[in-house]
Amino acid sequence: MKGPLGNIMRQAQEMQEKLKSAQETLAAMEVVGSAGGGLVEVVMTGRHDVRRVQIDDTLLTDDKAVLEDLIAAAMNDAVRRVEKVTQEKMGGLTSGIDIPGLNLSGLNG
């Protein structure tokens, strides 16, 4: 396909390939969320699957509610980190794509 439409189709296909690659990379990555100065750590994948929870031994003698709060805080920290990395990775995908009549600049973060 030639002309402007062919160029648009080529750019769309390139963007789709980059998107798929980025999604695969993000799914395989792991981030660490922590709370209590590192006393609780949660390892989470880009798909928000929790791989591991590490709890410092000193917390095992603490109040149960404190431990529960620190686990929740570490999970929330991990989720925020996944979202930040995802936004950074996906935001750059549309840069350099110029499709007439389609404003992709709002997707760049």
Q: What is the pLDDT of residues 25-81, one digit of tens each?
A: 888 899 999 999 999 999 999 999 999 999 999 999 879 999 999 999 999 999 999
pLDDT score of 4 more than 80? no
Fold (CATH) for 3-94: Ybab; Chain: A; (3.30.1310)
Question: Which string of b and e fits 82-92 if b means at least 16 CB within 10 Å?
Answer: beeeeeeebee
Range name among 16-20, 48-52, 65-69, 99-103 with the lowest pLDDT average: 99-103
Amino acid 41: pLDDT:
97
Q: What CA–CA distance (Å, rounded) separates 56 from 76?
A: 18
Q: List 53's β-bridge partners, or say none.
A: 42
pLDDT score of 109 more than 50? no
Q: Tell which wins on pLDDT, 67 or 18.
A: 67
At 55, the amino acid letter reads I
Q: What CA–CA distance (Å, rounded) separates 98 from 7?
A: 10
